[in-house]
Amino acid sequence: MTTSTFDMAKVSAKTKKSGATWKQCKALGYHLAKKSSTGKPDWVDSSRITACLAKDAADGKFSFLQASKLFQAKKLPAKYRKAIADYVAANQEVDS
């Protein structure tokens, strides 16, 4: 069995500039939502990260290349954490 490794050098310049793919956003959600205590993903946080990144990709604000580089990070950048926190705060249900 052979294992292949992703080679960014083989990706076209057009693809690098295009929006991140859904699969990249989903994988980053899993990667960046791991709990430090267990090493397992926090599924709610994972879904929120995926949605935030996918929205930015669709809006042209998050490229394939940026997504590839983000896999090296251990934490989600502050601008995405803030965007998620703002969204959650604005959409919380109010108990009456």
70: in domain = yes
Q: CA-based diameter of the chain, in Å?
A: 59
35: in domain = yes
Higher pLDDT, residue 43 or 15 = 43
Higher pLDDT, residue 39 or 23 = 23
16 pLDDT exceeds 90?
A: no
**pLDDT value of position 96:** 47
3: in domain = no
Closest CA to 50 of 30, 79, 68, 78: 30
pTM for the complete prediction? 0.80
Count of domains for the chain: 1
Structural domain boundaries enclosing 43: 18-90
Rounded to whole angstroms, how far apart are CA atoms 63 and 57? 6
4: in domain = no
Rounded to whole angstroms, how far apart are CA atoms 57 and 24? 10
* Residue written as token pair 């249900």: 93
pLDDT digits (tens, 9 = 90+) for 30-71: 999 987 788 788 999 999 999 999 999 999 999 999 999 999
Tokens of 7: 């080679």
**pLDDT value of position 14:** 75
8: in domain = no
